[in-house]
Structure 1
Amino acid sequence: MIRALFVRRLAGLAGAAGLLLLSGCLDVPHPFRDPGVAGRSLARNAPPARLAIPLPAAALLGDEAARTWSRDIAAALLEQTVPAMAQPVRPGDWWLRLGAETRGGLVIPTYSIMTPAGRVRGSGEGVGVPAAAWAAGDADALLQSARQLAVPITGALTGIQADQMAQDPHSLKHRAARIYFSGVKGAPGDGDVALAQAFVASLRDAEDAIQDHPREADFTVSCAVSISAVIPGGTGHPQQHLQLVWRVLDAQGKESGAATQLHDIDAHSLDGPWGEVALAAAQEAAAGVRQVISRYSGRDNVPLPPPVAVPPGAPAVAKVPR
């Protein structure tokens, strides 16, 4: 019923009501994002703000090719928003142990994510590379291998962060996000008030709690509305272009993401009461904001299972390369 009223009120839409989640703001795993003083004190062996990638001595490559491969992986991880650096391991670093093994004419790249204590927290392998290309240190082969490996490595790091959140009773896996909503600005008619009231009512649930002040808020949400001048409509009715941008900032004021709604409306049709339009738009926006918060915070990520127990007699700790 609400959706039907929404579509009827926004007569002349170029398409159905739409919600655009801004790319570049959502698919950010933030596996090594600094959780702050309180978070660091609660997390178990929390990773620092970087992932070291030392020269891979067991990669079946010459020194120069090994150096190139490690740099390629660091660059590929940076593209995945992981702050990796091709450098020796320093005290307190989490680090990436890279290697390779031969199987039937192919070289299989391998990786292990190591804790500062030198213990394996996650491991895997990449797609095989023809042995001749690998042995020659072919630049394209090394680059493609690095880009392919960056995806599962980032996934594992995200799972490690999720496991740490699961162990932290104060993380957003165990409580609702505290959200300060600063309101709506720029809407015609009673839109500022109607949208704000409907959004607050739509966002409250077991995962998100609206609070009245910004102090100790995990996120701050605001909405800016803009409307264009009257333009001729394709149906013969003058139209206006309506844009609603719901911005989400984290506790440090950094943009976590944004949800944008775009509509073409009959000219001046929202100059008075918004009514059911405000409710439908707010419900749609609340879903987008909830998605931004979930992806940015990692509260919905699946924890990486603990590593397999080390067999008796096997070394439990790897030597940290210098």
Structure 2
Amino acid sequence: MNFSDELVQWYNENKRDLPWRNTTDAYIIWLSEVILQQTRVEQGLPYFYRFLENYPDVTRFANASEDEILKLWQGLGYYSRGRNMLKTARIVQEHFNGKFPQAYDQLIKLKGIGEYTAAAIASFSANEAKAVVDGNVYRVIARYFGISEPINSTAGKKIFQATANDLLNKKMPAVHNQAMMEFGAMLCKPKNPACGTCPVKEGCYAFINNAAAALPVKLNKVKIRERFFNYFLYTDGGSILMNKRDESDIWANMYDLPLIETSSLLPLDELLALPETAAYFGNSLKISGNVMVKKHLLTHQHLHVRFITLSQQPIKIKEGWVFIKVEKAKKTALPKVIFIFLDNFLN
């Protein structure tokens, strides 16, 4: 049994019809790869279509503003990906005359493109013999060969990349890589893999040893940070008081609302009695409407977000707070939790 041949045959019979699989245009493949990082295909597909419709080539992407890109990106999270895409598009426009490079050695030097993305673009656009290793490929290799080395350890990354390189069908690397990734996404899934219909189960360590649930192994390095955001909404009907975030934290350079961060979710009366609250909103703060508290989950942070609607203008405007016309605010790139709140409030 040839492992690659079996997976390619399975792929040809079962693959999903996805738009980036019907082209060798490196720009379109780049769009799909970056958008789908940390994102399910079902969630990412509408974003892919919107980006391609608004920016059908690198030149138009490069000429966009950061706010336009982030507005289209809104809801995907990991906003640095959108910023890096704009930087890459501008580099490609300037140094490659608007033609997206296909060679791995050129791609790996671009902003936001790592080994996986460079290998994927080079392989799918130019059939370059580079093995792609993403989460799906890690899982397939770990289970089939019974590799227990953690996939996020230095040694593990080397082992899995070397194994992927050995498996690569160098005569048709593009199809082989697509088959490996699709196999992991559709059949050798993280939970409840379809082992019964697997074409390579007879040689699979995990199937033979009933070890699918234990593989792959991953070191738990993620430490979740709990944060407590208290947002204050003030509008005069035509404009909303908003806050321009800096580059040192989440949602860099995006807009949210005037914010006071606390170390815990304080009772409302204690929050209003804080010196910082009094400094900007006065001692007799007038609140209109219900105070809302929501939990917003990021990869490394859990945000406890409270929204307080004011019936009076703050007595002091903090640096970074600006009044933005309502219609402009609707078109501004906002963190998803802020966008949803404002959208419900304004409507």
TM-score (norm 2): 0.23
> Which fold has the larger relative contact order, with Cα–Cα distance below 8 Å and residues 6 or more apart in sequence?
1
Of Structure 1 and Structure 2, the greater helix share is in 2
